[in-house]
C-alpha cells in the first residue's frame, strides 16, 4: 500500500513539474521573440522584425498584435494587398476588445489610403470613431480625406471637433474652409452665395487675410472697385508677406477710379504697420520717383538700409534710384557692395 501511495505522489509531482516547466517556457519564448521583433522595428530592420513576427504567429495564432505589426510592415514595404488581407482577417476574430478592433480598423484605413481607395479608408476611420469618439488620430485622418475630396463643409465640422478635443481655438483654420466653400460656389456661378461664405469667414476670423482677397477679387469682377480696394487693402495689412499680390490690383483700381494720387498713402499705411516690408517700400519709392521726388525716394531707401544693411533688394533699389544723380565711381562702389553681399550669401 505504501508503495502505491509513493508511486502516485511521484506521478503527481512529475506531472506538475512537466506542466510548470513546458507551458510557461513556451509563453515566455513567444513574448521574447515578439520583443525582439519590436526592437528590430525600432532599429529600422524590417526584414528581421518580419521574420520574428512570423515565428510568433506560428507559435501563437492568437497573438493579434503580431499580426497587426506584420501587416503594417508589409504596407510600409509596398505590399499593401498582403497587408489588407492580414488586417481584414483579424476583423472576423471573435471576442476582441474595442481597443484591438480600433487598432485593426486604423491599420486598414492606412492600407486603403496607400492604395488610394479613399472611400474605403474613410469608412475604416469612421469605424475607429464609433469605437472611440475622442480618437484624435481618426479625426485628423478624416480631415485629410475631406480636404483631399474637397468636402469643405465636413472638413469644417471635423475641425471644430478636433479643436474641441484639444481644447484649443484656431478660427483661421475654420475660416479657410469657409473660403474654400465660397470658391466652390464661385466655380458654379453662385456669386451671392460665394460672397456670403467669404463674409462668414471674415466674421469667424476678422484678421485672417484670405477671405478679404477673395472678396476683393469678387467685387472687382462685378466692377465694385471701391469695395474691392477696401478688401484688398485689408488683405495686404493682415498678410504683409503675401500682400504684394494685391499691390498692382490696388494701383490699377485707383487709376480706373481717377484716384491714383492715393497710391502713395496706401503704401505709407502698409509701411506704418510693417516698416520692414521691402516690397511696399519699393513700390512707394517708385511712386515718389515717378512724381519727380528723387531725393525723397532715395532717403526712404537709405533709411530702410540703415536698419537692414544686408538687404540685397534694398541695395538694388538704391542703385536704381542713384543712376541719374550719382557719379560713375559711386555707382561702381554700390555694385561692388552688392556683389560682396551676394558672394557672402552664396558661401554660407
Q: 250-304 pLDDT, tens per residue? A: 999 999 999 988 988 998 898 888 888 888 878 877 777 777 767 766 666 666 6
Contact criterion met (CB below 8 Å) for 274 and 280: yes
Which pLDDT belongs to residue 178?
Answer: 96
Q: Is 318 a member of any domain?
A: no
Structural domains of the chain, count: 1
Q: Is 80 a member of any domain?
A: yes
Which pLDDT belongs to residue 274?
Answer: 85
Q: Is 65 a member of any domain?
A: yes
Q: Is 121 a member of any domain?
A: yes
Q: Is 307 a member of any domain?
A: no
Q: Is 183 a member of any domain?
A: no
Q: Is 106 a member of any domain?
A: yes
Where residue 118 sits, what CATH number does that domain have?
A: 1.25.40.10
Contact criterion met (CB below 8 Å) for 267 and 283: yes
Collect the ranges in the chain with pLDDT lower than 50: 2, 5-14, 16-17, 19-22, 24-26
Spatial distance between the Cα atoms of 219 and 215, rounded to a whole number of angstroms:
6
Domain housing 94: 23-127
Of 301, 279, 278, nearest in space to 289 by CA: 301
Q: Is 243 a member of any domain?
A: no
Spatial distance between the Cα atoms of 180 and 153, rounded to a whole number of angstroms:
9
Amino acid at each position: 500500500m505504501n508503495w502505491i501511495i509513493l508511486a502516485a505522489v511521484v506521478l503527481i509531482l512529475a506531472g506538475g513539474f512537466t506542466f510548470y516547466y513546458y507551458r510557461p517556457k513556451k509563453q515566455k519564448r513567444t513574448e521574447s521573440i515578439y520583443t525582439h521583433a519590436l526592437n528590430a522595428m525600432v532599429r529600422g530592420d524590417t526584414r528581421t522584425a518580419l521574420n520574428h513576427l512570423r515565428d510568433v504567429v506560428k507559435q501563437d495564432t492568437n497573438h493579434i498584435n503580431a499580426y497587426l505589426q506584420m501587416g503594417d510592415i508589409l504596407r510600409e514595404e509596398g505590399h499593401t494587398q498582403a497587408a489588407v488581407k492580414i488586417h481584414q482577417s483579424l476583423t472576423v476574430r471573435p471576442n476582441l476588445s474595442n481597443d484591438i478592433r480600433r487598432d485593426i480598423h486604423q491599420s486598414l484605413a492606412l492600407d486603403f489610403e496607400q492604395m488610394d481607395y479613399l472611400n474605403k479608408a474613410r469608412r475604416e476611420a469612421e469605424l475607429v470613431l464609433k469605437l472611440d469618439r475622442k480618437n484624435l488620430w481618426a479625426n485628423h485622418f478624416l480631415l485629410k480625406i475631406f480636404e483631399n475630396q474637397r468636402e469643405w463643409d465636413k472638413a469644417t465640422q471635423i475641425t471644430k471637433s478636433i479643436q474641441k478635443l484639444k481644447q484649443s481655438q484656431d478660427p483661421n483654420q475654420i475660416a479657410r474652409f469657409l473660403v474654400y466653400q465660397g470658391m466652390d460656389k464661385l466655380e458654379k456661378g453662385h456669386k451671392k452665395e460665394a460672397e456670403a461664405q467669404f463674409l462668414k469667414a471674415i466674421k469667424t476670423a476678422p484678421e485672417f487675410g484670405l477671405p478679404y482677397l477673395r472678396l476683393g477679387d469678387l467685387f472687382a469682377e462685378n466692377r465694385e472697385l471701391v469695395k474691392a480696394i477696401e478688401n484688398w487693402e485689408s488683405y495686404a495689412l493682415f498678410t504683409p508677406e503675401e500682400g504684394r499680390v494685391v499691390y498692382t490690383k490696388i494701383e490699377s483700381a485707383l487709376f480706373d477710379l481717377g484716384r491714383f494720387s492715393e497710391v502713395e498713402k496706401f503704401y505709407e499705411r502698409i509701411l506704418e504697420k510693417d516698416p520692414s516690408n521691402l516690397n511696399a517700400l519699393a513700390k512707394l519709392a517708385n511712386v515718389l520717383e515717378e512724381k519727380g521726388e528723387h531725393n525723397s525716394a532715395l532717403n526712404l531707401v537709405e533709411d530702410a538700409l540703415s536698419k537692414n544693411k544686408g538687404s540685397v533688394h534694398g541695395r538694388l533699389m538704391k542703385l536704381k534710384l542713384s543712376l541719374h544723380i550719382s557719379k560713375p565711381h559711386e555707382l561702381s562702389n554700390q555694385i561692388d557692395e552688392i556683389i560682396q553681399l551676394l558672394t557672402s550669401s552664396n558661401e554660407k
